[in-house]
Structure 1
């Protein structure tokens, strides 16, 4: 094609040069030379028009489908052709046919909507969908939806599906069962998109938030539960402390009773206790840096002489 185009322009240039030379050399011949020049000019114009038409036809009869794309062709006589053209160089009839190229690669679309849960709490949910057209149904998609099929279909079905699924769950279940909610939205969206020959590869919940009033109520509930748990542990601690005091009192009572029985049976028991007390007091006084001016009897340190006899007589007299 390019070679023919160059040859046509070469012939046209030669004819123009010949016409100009003939007109200049035959100036004396009059009308005969002018007729030949006009004929040569007409042939040049015809050759130029043919070359232009050939170039136009060559340029418009070829089109390229990029990688990751497919093409469908609209024919002015029969309408949409049923064939789908793949990647690479393809041919069509200029003016009679027009190619429409579709991108069949996966693309994302995001939707954020405000809806209500089962317990009438307002929820803001954002859904992200990876989609692409069905490559085998591009003719149907162009005939009924056009090239902007995703803008016509996806927002409406995503909005309806998200609201329908969220309305089945309470507000707290939307958080604890998020994977189940996402799976149900995905199944419902795939079913709805299948009616329009749109393929969904992934559906995910990217954002989920509640109204400020509900968030404050949840926070207050959590604080109240923590306070209740804290109060419960305080009550348990008080009960344990009560048991400890009772046990300690019982132990002291039993200890006093046993001491009384021991003194009653053997008054020498008090002498042993007195010796133990004197030893403890002596250790404290010995380690103290202060001077002691108290009486040894007052400090229970007088263990010699008749101190023990006085003590035994006093104890014996009381128990008798």
Structure 2
């Protein structure tokens, strides 16, 4: 083997070694970005201590790092339950949560991926928490006391997920449905209440009308009483004469058509007027 061939081989080996060193160097470190947490596994065994944001050393070739997103996640989870009065109630919850970065190692060991966490932990615990909240009230109370229902659900869900390293930030009731039978019962109840309110209104209106009639009758009786007292008093005949003249004027003051009868020589009698046209009919 000549000197040139030996030199070429040495150059090749040197290049391979340099590439190997570069490869090993790049694979000896990992960068964890903000909003992430990593779990280091060496020869398939998860190591204690989560890798938080920054650069970290990892043994080359024999290690692997699983990176978890620890920012806010949102999933919509359906749930069903029976209420205290044994009515079927279904709901859909939007759950905002994030993973506790300190507990990602335990999460990696027990649950694995984020998809497993949702399917195996969050979904069933949401169902159980909704059962706890719904069982404390009737279906009507679940509808009219929706905020209290959500509070009970939140408390139960937080308590159940906290031990899994899952931090619940917020929940919202996307939809709340009840059985068709109960929907029909609610509709019938509303119709009955509307009829009852209408009946009360009609009764009050009739009562007010009756009271108005009574007041009018009382007013008329009082007016007649005052008129009688006036007529009995001195000068009452003058009042009657004035009324007769007013009636005559309202009739058109047609002298040939009106006959006046009564009255004495002293002018104290009460005149009597009537329309002759009525006699001609």
If the length of structure 1 is used for normalisation, what is the TM-score? 0.72
Select 2:41's aligned residue among 58, 74, 83: 74
Q: Give the CA deviation at 1:76.
A: 1.6
Q: Give the CA deviation at 1:314.
A: 8.0
Q: Give the CA deviation at 1:65.
A: 0.9
Q: Give the CA deviation at 1:93.
A: 1.2
Relative contact order, CA 8 A, sep 6+: which one is greater? Answer: 2
Q: Give the CA deviation at 1:111.
A: 0.9
* CA distance in 1: counterparts of 2:100 and 2:270, whole angstroms: 116
Select 1:297's aligned residue among 230, 243, 258: 258
Q: Verify: 1:39 aligned to 2:9, yes or no.
A: no
Name the CA shift for 1:263/1:37 in 2 (closer, same or farther; >3 Å). closer
Partner of 2:28: 61
User: Tell me, what secondary structure is at the counterpart of 1:99?
Assistant: strand
Select 1:52's aligned residue among 12, 19, 23: 19
Deviates more, 1:230-239 or 1:250-259: 250-259
Name the CA shift for 1:280/1:46 in 2 (closer, same or farther; >3 Å). same
Name the CA shift for 1:313/1:199 in 2 (closer, same or farther; >3 Å). closer
Select 2:125's aligned residue among 146, 153, 157: 157
User: Tell me, what secondary structure is at the counterpart of 2:38?
Assistant: strand
Pairing 1:1-320 to 2, within 5 Å after superposition? 34-76=1-43, 79-148=45-114, 149-252=117-220, 255=223, 267-282=237-252, 295-297=256-258, 308-309=263-264, 312=269
Higher helix share goes to which structure?
A: 1
Deviates more, 1:35-44 or 1:119-128: 35-44
* CA distance in 2: counterparts of 1:224 and 1:126, whole angstroms: 31
Q: Give the CA deviation at 1:190.
A: 0.7
Higher alpha-carbon Rg:
1
Contact 2:240–2:270 under 8 Å retained in 1: no
Name the CA shift for 1:118/1:39 in 2 (closer, same or farther; >3 Å). same
User: Tell me, what secondary structure is at the counterpart of 2:258?
Assistant: coil
* CA distance in 2: counterparts of 1:280 and 1:313, whole angstroms: 19
**What's the RMSD between the two structures over aligned residues?**
3.0
Q: Give the CA deviation at 1:204.
A: 2.3
Name the CA shift for 1:270/1:142 in 2 (closer, same or farther; >3 Å). same
Q: Give the CA deviation at 1:41.
A: 4.0
* CA distance in 2: counterparts of 1:111 and 1:261, whole angstroms: 87
Contact 1:271–1:308 under 8 Å retained in 2: no
Q: Give the CA deviation at 1:276.
A: 2.5
User: Tell me, what secondary structure is at the counterpart of 1:85?
Assistant: coil
Partner of 2:277: none
Contact 1:60–1:94 under 8 Å retained in 2: yes
Name the CA shift for 1:277/1:106 in 2 (closer, same or farther; >3 Å). same
Unaligned stretches of 5+ residues in structure 2: 273-281
Contact 2:237–2:270 under 8 Å retained in 1: no
Unaligned stretches of 5+ residues in structure 1: 1-33, 286-291, 316-320
